């Protein structure tokens, strides 16, 4: 068994699987149950000044018969008194001294931040996470994503926190920006020890077509909520990689966004995260999913003859380049395994109507045939094929040397340069 012990910017935990700051970390009761189930850490539901929540609060996107492909919420930060939260956090820390307990926070004034930091450190908290991401409600009051979207404010507030905090400070970033590296670099300048991303994405999950009311509905009205769950993973993976690959960014990354299985977690590690945070999957299935996360990641490391998760860090992020650096002479074409083909012809119609008309049907056979001379190797047929490994993409030896756009004769800039 591999060693999953983690040291994230100085915060130690028995494994890299933390609960994100969200409803599953609302109370000491929940966090203790989570730790018993095997979670390595928890970021407590965001502490702040008293708020009042609405009813209802969550909306979801289902795809065919898959429930909750995406989830959004219009819930605010903790609605419990700070004293209650602190008392329960203290109890958790006493019972689980080796687990990571992080206080998520969101305040307005420097004094409020400093006061809460002190009180949290007094009860033995392991670190802080600054909630600069919440995209609804709090941002209207100048907090949450209003901070994360403005690099100057982000840097300033981070520096306030870092003045007072002796424990590591994680800045949680909002994805509701055009360039994720700007707030991340601002957090770094402000003195943060790490970042976590992504927070939720501005969204409306759907509309009740009978009443034409938006979801989730509060007396027939709604507001844009924060989107999360499996549907957001691709966006999160890209943003994590953008930070990993930025030459001036050096902080550890806690990956968040649609993580449900061990494969998801490994993907975040490969993009540069060293811990991951989970919320929606727990809201869907409960704490016990962590068993599969820890076992799956351990097995994966074993099978790759690796001992520690950090051996995975950023391997795949390095393989993300600018488009113009990709080899234009690399060629693959589709290959259909006629023995595996179940003759649904989805590949045919996808290519015919939706791509490059490079699959043919032949008389007296239901098995489509690839037109190798026109196949552009787009992958679409292999993506729609319902049979595993039936359509594979096969490399074609062109005999040509690697050629990138920068050097391509069709590139006007290349011609100018000559």
Partner 1 sequence: MSVLTSNKNFLPTLSDVELKEKFSNIKPRMANSEAIVEASRCLFCHDAPCINACPTSIDIPMFIRQIMSKNTKGAAKTIFTQNILGKSCAHVCPTEVLCEGACVYNNLNEKPIDIGRLQAFATDYAVENNLRFFKKGKSTGKKIAVIGGGPSGLACAHELTVLGHEVVVYEANEKAGGLNTYGVAPYKYSNKDSEEEVKYIAEIGFEVKTNCPVTGATIPELEKKYDAIFIGAGLGKSKKLGIAGEDLESVHGATEFIHKLRKKEQKIQIGKTIVIVGGGNTAIDAAVESSKLGADVTVVYRRTEKEQKAYYFEVELAKKHNVKFIYLTNPVSILGNEFVEGLKCIQNTNGGQKDLIIPCDMVIFATGQEKIIDFYKSIKNLEVTQGKIVVNKNFQTTNPKYFAGGDCINGGKEVVNAAAHGRDAARGINEFLMRGHND
Inter-residue contact 255 to 6 (CB < 8 Å): no
Compute the distance between CA of residue 145 and CA of residue 49 in angstroms, rounded to an integer. Answer: 17
Cis amide linkage into residue 198, ω under 30° from 0? yes
Question: What are 349's two structure tokens?
Answer: 């119609």
H helical segments located in 253-362: 262-270, 280-285, 290-303, 346-354
Please state whether the peptide bond connecting residue 56 to the residue before it is cis, i.e. omega within 30 degrees of 0.
yes
Least gap, CB of 210 to partner 1 (angstroms): 11
List C-alpha distances in Å: 207 to 28, 74, 223: 35, 15, 12
Q: Which is nearer to partner 1, 113 or 348 (CB)?
A: 348
Half-sphere exposure in the Cβ direction for 61 (13 Å, CA):
17
Q: Which H helix or E strand runs over 226?
A: strand 225-228
> Measured in whole angstroms, how far is the alpha carbon of residue 287 from the centre of its chain?
19
One of 116, 120, 134, 162 is an active-site residue; which one? 134
**Closest distance to partner 1 from the beta carbon of 352 (Å):** 8
Which tokens in the block code for residue 26?
Answer: 């609302």
Q: How many residues does the chain have?
A: 418
Minimum CB distance to partner 1, residue 399 (Å): 36
CA distance 30 to 405: 53
Which one, 306 or 342, has the nearer CB to partner 1?
A: 342
Give CA–CA dist 75/236, Å, rounded: 21
Output the smallest distance, CB 211 to partner 1, in A: 16
**Residue 370 per-residue DSSP state:** E
Q: Which is nearer to partner 1, 309 or 390 (CB)?
A: 390
Tell me the residue ranges of DSSP E strands in 271-390.
Answer: 273-278, 331-336, 359-360, 369-370
Q: Using alpha carbons only, what angle is made at residue 174 by residues 258 and 198, rounded to the nearest 5 degrees?
A: 25
Q: How far is the CB of 359 from partner 1 (least distance, A)?
A: 10
User: E strand or H helix at 156, and its extent?
Assistant: helix 151-164
Among 198, 161, 191, 194, which Cα is nearest to 177's?
198
- Of 329 and 338, the one with the shorter C-beta distance to partner 1 is 338
**Catalytic residue at 116?**
no
- Structure tokens given for 359: 């699959």
Minimum CB distance to partner 1, residue 341 (Å): 8
Q: Give the nearer residue to partner 1 in terms of CB position, either 92 or 341.
A: 341
Closer to partner 1 by Cβ: residue 209 or 410? 209
Site residues, partner 1 (CB under 8 A) = 64-65, 341-346, 348-349, 361, 366, 386-387
Place of tokens 């040291």: 7
To partner 1, the closest distance from the beta carbon of 280 in angstroms equals 21
* Of 80, 89, 156, the residue nearest 121 (C-alpha): 89
To partner 1, the closest distance from the beta carbon of 346 in angstroms equals: 6
Cα–Cα distance, 2 to 189 (Å, whole number): 35
Residue closer to partner 1, measured from CB, 22 or 341:
341
Residues with a catalytic annotation lie at 134
């Amino acid at each position: 068994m591999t060693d999953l012990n983690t040291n994230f910017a100085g915060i130690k935990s028995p494994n890299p699987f933390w609960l994100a700051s969200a409803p599953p970390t609302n109370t000491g009761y929940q966090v203790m149950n989570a730790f018993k189930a095997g979670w390595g850490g928890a970021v407590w539901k965001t502490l702040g000044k008293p708020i009042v929540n609405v009813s209802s609060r969550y909306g979801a996107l289902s795809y065919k018969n898959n429930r909750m492909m995406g989830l959004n919420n219009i819930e605010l930060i903790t609605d419990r008194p700070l004293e209650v939260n602190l008392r329960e956090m203290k109890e958790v820390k006493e019972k689980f001294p080796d687990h990571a307990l992080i206080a998520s926070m969101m305040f307005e004034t420097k004094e409020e931040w400093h006061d809460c930091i002190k009180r949290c450190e007094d009860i033995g908290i392991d670190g802080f996470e600054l909630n600069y991401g919440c995209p609804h409600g709090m941002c209207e009051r100048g907090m949450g994503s209003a901070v994360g979207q403005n690099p100057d404010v982000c840097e300033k507030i981070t520096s306030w926190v870092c003045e007072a905090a002796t424990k590591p400070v994680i800045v949680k970033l909002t994805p509701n920006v055009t360039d994720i590296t700007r707030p991340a670099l601002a957090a770094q300048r402000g003195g943060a020890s790490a970042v976590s991303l992504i927070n939720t994405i501005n969204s409306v999950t759907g509309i009740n077509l009978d009443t034409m009311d938006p979801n989730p509905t509060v007396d027939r009205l709604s507001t844009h909520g924060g989107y999360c769950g499996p549907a957001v993973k691709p966006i999160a993976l890209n943003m994590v990689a953008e930070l990993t690959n930025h030459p001036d960014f050096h902080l550890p990354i806690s990956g968040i966004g649609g993580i449900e299985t061990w494969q998801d977690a490994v993907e975040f590690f490969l993009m540069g995260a060293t811990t991951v945070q989970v919320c929606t999957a727990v809201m869907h299935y409960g704490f016990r999913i962590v068993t599969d996360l820890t076992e799956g990641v351990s097995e994966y490391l074993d099978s790759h003859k690796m001992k520690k998760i950090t051996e995975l860090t950023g391997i795949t992020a390095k393989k993300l380049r600018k488009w113009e650096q990709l080899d234009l002479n690399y060629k693959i074409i589709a290959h259909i395994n006629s023995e595996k083909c179940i003759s649904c012809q989805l590949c045919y119609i996808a290519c015919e109507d939706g791509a490059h008309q490079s699959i043919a049907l032949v008389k007296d056979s239901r098995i489509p045939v690839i037109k190798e001379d026109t196949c552009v190797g787009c992958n679409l047929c292999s993506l729609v094929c319902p049979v595993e490994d039936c359509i594979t993409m096969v490399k074609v030896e062109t005999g040509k040397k690697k050629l990138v756009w920068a050097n391509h004769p069709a590139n006007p800039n290349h011609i100018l340069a000559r």
